[in-house]
Amino acid sequence: MSPESVIVLTWRDVLRMASEGAPPAEQRVEKTEEEWRRQLSAEEFRVTRQAGTERAFSSSLCALFEPGIYACRCCRTILFDASQKFDSGTGWPSFTQPVQPNRIAYHRDDSHGMTRIETVCNSCDAHLGHVFPDGPPPSGLRYCINALALQKIAAG
């Protein structure tokens, strides 16, 4: 993708997609709960298939800033590029943008006495984490993602 064609999502875009739906995924991956349980560790299943959250600062991915891409742990859909990763100090890997607008779906989450926007893989519905409007410029977005939901893939 050339720099001229890069789309920068904003908080307004995220709220619109949470309300109206994300652009269609390029592919869908459907598995039974038992198939996901066989594929994932117990903690990966809890986080990705049951919308769990890993402990803050529990993964070395928070401090990893080498080039590469990050894919969904469940279906290997490419979600984030390391060039969009930053140290948010929150204890979870944080990104400013997905690689493409149709890779992430957004849902309003009113759990735990607050309103947030949940992020899920648009291909397999794996829970990734949440997105917040307190990230760095130019987007102002902070995708706060569970490391257990990601698989780091070396740069090609």
Residues of the chain with pLDDT below 70 are 1-6, 155-156
User: Which pLDDT score, from 0 to 100, does residue 155 have?
Assistant: 63
User: Which pLDDT score, from 0 to 100, does residue 9 have?
Assistant: 94
User: Which pLDDT score, from 0 to 100, does residue 79 have?
Assistant: 97
User: Which pLDDT score, from 0 to 100, does residue 115 have?
Assistant: 81
Active site residues: 144
Its domain, for residue 143, covers 3-154
Q: What is the CATH number of the domain that holds 145?
A: 2.170.150.20
How many domains is the chain built from?
A: 1
Percent of the chain with pLDDT strictly greater than 90: 81
Backbone phi and psi for residue 108, each to the nearest 5 degrees, phi listed first? -65, 135
User: Which pLDDT score, from 0 to 100, does residue 110 have?
Assistant: 80
User: Which pLDDT score, from 0 to 100, does residue 3 have?
Assistant: 42
- Maximum CA extent, the chain: 43
Sheet order of strands, 78-81 included? 78-81, 68-72, 150-154
87 vs 64: CA distance, rounded Å: 9
Q: Which residues pair with 108 in a beta bridge?
A: 117
pTM across the whole model:
0.92
